[in-house]
Structure 1
Amino acid sequence: MNLDEKQLESSLLTQTFDFAVNIISYAAELQKQNRFIIGNQLLKCGTAIGANTREAEYAENEFIFISKTETAIKEATEMYQWLSFCETRKDYPNCKDLLNELAEIINILNKTIETAK
């Protein structure tokens, strides 16, 4: 792994961690509105992205790295679905910034997979 790839991973780890923190706050807002089902789904997906990205960083081999990164992408795309639902609802808190942040994470994850393959 070269320096650019390490910098990309470090940046990605920071982004996914920050995203998880933001999702926890957003889910807390939903739970204050008694929207527990959506809030819980967002917590699961939103925190799993960073967890899988972190696991990929310490993968024993390339196969596991790719597998964990692909799992992070799956969680991110599910997350995008849930946030898109929230965005369409006028009675839900605004999540446009979260959607933009997530789109950037998905792009980086996809580039990471392309580079690894």
Structure 2
Amino acid sequence: MTASKDTPSPKRRKQSKVSPPPLKDSAKEAIAHFLDTLDGEPCSELYDMVLKQIEEPLLEAVLDYTQHNQSHAAAMLGLNRGTLRKKLRQHGLLNEPEPPKRRRSARTPKTPAKRKR
């Protein structure tokens, strides 16, 4: 059985995929737009601001991609899972259950024992 002329070969299918523009192009465009909106006003700490603003959507996108599997997300990002959890907590993205409330004991508290001299 031969493949029809209309069916592309597996090699051709890979070549026909259109790759998205590099992320750096989108980032450069967004930063240039931000700088244009400053209209000559001074700006400080731009580096920290950009990193903070890009980190949250990056974490959200990777978590969505990995179906919220933190181990897989950490591996994709090249982070330790503990570091990922810390970053998720910083951005309010970590869905942690509330710790159970401690119940007070009905017993009276013990008094410290007196030492013999």
Instruction: Compute the TM-score of the two structures, normalised by the length of structure 2.
Output: 0.32
Rg (Cα) greater in structure: 2
- The structure richer in helix per residue is 1
